[in-house]
Structure 1
Amino acid sequence: MSYNNILVQKQLPTAIVTINRPNKLNALNKDTIGELHNAFKDLQKDKDVKAIVLTGSGEKAFVAGADISEFSDFSEKEGKKLAAKGQKQLFNFIENSSTPVIAAINGFALGGGLELAMACHFRVASNNAKMGLPEVSLGVIPGYGGTQRLPQLVGKGRAMEMIMTAGMITADQALAYGLVNHVTSPEELLPLCHKIIGKITNNSPVAIAYAIKAVNAGFKNTVNGYEQEIEAFGACFGTDDFTEGTSAFLEKRKAEFPGS
């Protein structure tokens, strides 16, 4: 499939999805959100893709925010619809992806850009990255999950301060807050992601998918995370990956997981 605003490269077992609007600092617009949804949907179906890296083109920005020109004249009803559709189509979709998604934050991650990074399963940042949720400076609040995911990651107090001040934090601050897992140089950003993915792909993709589902359940008020873990744990016993993993362990050899 061809895209206008994103690039998809497969370096198996990894796929790299790059938001490619450098003249707009990779700002999210309706078309880009739709293309990202389609790309992630296709990649999840590809059994050869074991992990996905999401990043931005150029050296300045991961995603510098949403494309404000698209919604500056929206009504209340249109604003609500915008947030609901975006969350369902992309942000929640990535969070619940059975394929691990790593955000490689290569510059500014602001507003919808930080919300997109937070929807990924974890984040790696270059040392020139800056992050923040500046929405209140525009008279609105984060609408793509920012008010929910940021407190989960950094705690309520820090999230409140970041949202209310509309300020930016550095990559090192983000690391101290727990917002990102690692900070490295711009040159080493993708190589570090590949190194981490190398460790992930040694393991059962089926078990990883169940683990993602169980962890996410713990942050949903309508789901009992412990019950979800029990169900997922039990389901693993019926998989070929479990048979291979336990056999390899007992036979003192490296597991070759079939992914089923």
Structure 2
Amino acid sequence: MNGSVNIEIKSGIGTITFFHPQSNSLPGEILNLLANTITQAGENEDVKVIVLKSEGDRAFCAGASFDELISIEDFETGKEFFSGFAKVINASRKCPKLIIGRVQGKAVGGGVGLASAVDYCMATKFAAVKLSELAIGIGPFVVGPAVERKIGVSAMSQMSINATEWQTAEWAKTKGLYTDIYESVEEMDEAIQVLADKLASSNPQAMLLLKQIFWEGTEHWDELLAERAGMSGKLVLSDFTRNAINTFKTSN
């Protein structure tokens, strides 16, 4: 497998790190591993709070793996691939522990979905965001509910329609995706450590109840995101989308 998902547990803080050599893009195997790791961390009594991060400097997550997208040849395979994003979002949603997001660089498509699915997200000034799905013939259907929940319909519509345009980290902060923006990774990591230490010593039951309140109204997301995965799984088979992905790959 190209890429990895690892967890390190220290002083009640479970740090989950994912990596892929192509700007931390997310093939199906990585998505499933990430969802399972989040679920297991939520069940681990030694973990009081979770930090979700990726490796590298300037790319938090490039979203779906184009190589895997272009290899999809039937609806079931397509739906299963996009269900990977649904699994990660739902694992984050249902995890009984609060999750802090660490976004050190650009987030595209599914990467924006990951940042939206955490409970508290910190970023550097380099963490621009883009929902590029329409530019390759599909749409941000699976990640859409998570993004909309964080930044609202208007801002999500803006990103979805203007699919080739980057929005700055400051823009993302004003819309509620990021809680804080930092000049450097070092400053961000210091702030994350301070918050994670505080949460690791907070009342677990109180944090669980808070999380349940934060996510009220999303109880139907298992079915909703599965339905959305089917929408993307169908679109990815079209000639329009295949041509768009190939064009996008050669121009980037």
User: TM over 0.5, yes or no?
Assistant: yes
CA distance in 2, matches of 1:218, 1:131: 26
Aligned to 1:214: 213
**Paired AA for residue 53 in structure 1:** V
Bigger mean CA deviation after superposition, 193-202 or 135-144 = 193-202
Residue 192 of structure 1 is matched in structure 2 by: 191
Among all aligned residue pairs of Structure 1 and Structure 2, give the percentage whose two residues are the same amino acid.
Answer: 24
Give the structure-1-normalised TM-score.
0.77
The higher relative CO (CA closer than 8 Å, separation ≥ 6) is in 2
Distance 2:79 2:29 in 1: 18
Deviation at 1:73, TM superposition (A): 4.2
Which contiguous aligned blocks of 4+ residues in structure 1 show a shift greater than 6 angstroms? Answer: none
Check whether the contact 1:127–1:186 (CA below 8 A) recurs between aligned residues: no
Which residue is 2:233 aligned to? none
Instruction: Name which of 161, 165, 169 aligns with 2:162.
Output: 165
Aligned CA distance change for structure 1 residues 173 and 92 (closer, same or farther; 3 Å): same
The 5-angstrom pairing of residues 11-22 of structure 1 reads: 11-21=10-20
Q: Deviations along 1:208-243, whole A, 9 cap, x unmatched?
A: 112212221234579xxxxxxxxxxxxxxxxxxxxx
Q: CA deviation at 1:12?
A: 1.8
Amino acid at match of 1:62: F
Equivalent pair of 2:89/2:146 in contact (CA under 8 Å): no
> Which structure: larger Rg?
1
1:2-26 CA distance string (max 9 Å, x none) = x9512322222212111122x2111
- Within 5 Å, give how 1:96-175 maps onto structure 2: 96-145=94-143, 147-166=144-163, 167-175=165-173
Q: Cα distance, 1:97 vs. partner?
A: 0.7
Deviations 1:175-231 (A, max 9, x none): 111111111121122221111122323421112112212221234579xxxxxxxxx
Q: Distance in 1 between matches of 2:18 and 2:150?
A: 24
Structure 2 unaligned runs (5+)?
222-252
RMSD, matched Cα: 2.0
Pick closer, same or farther for the CA change 1:4–1:79 going to 2, 3 Å.
closer
2:79 equivalent in structure 1: 80
Q: What do residues 21-51 of structure 1 show as CA deviations (whole Å, max 9, x unaligned)?
A: 2x21111011111221232222222212111
* Alignment coverage as a number of residue pairs: 217
The CA distance in 2 between the partners of 1:116 and 1:156, in whole Å, is: 17
Structure 2 residue aligned with 1:53, among 42, 51, 54? 51
Deviations 1:160-182 (A, max 9, x none): 11111012211111111111111
In 1: Cα distance, 2:85 partner to 2:157 partner: 23
Mapped contact 2:11–2:200 kept (Cα < 8 A): no
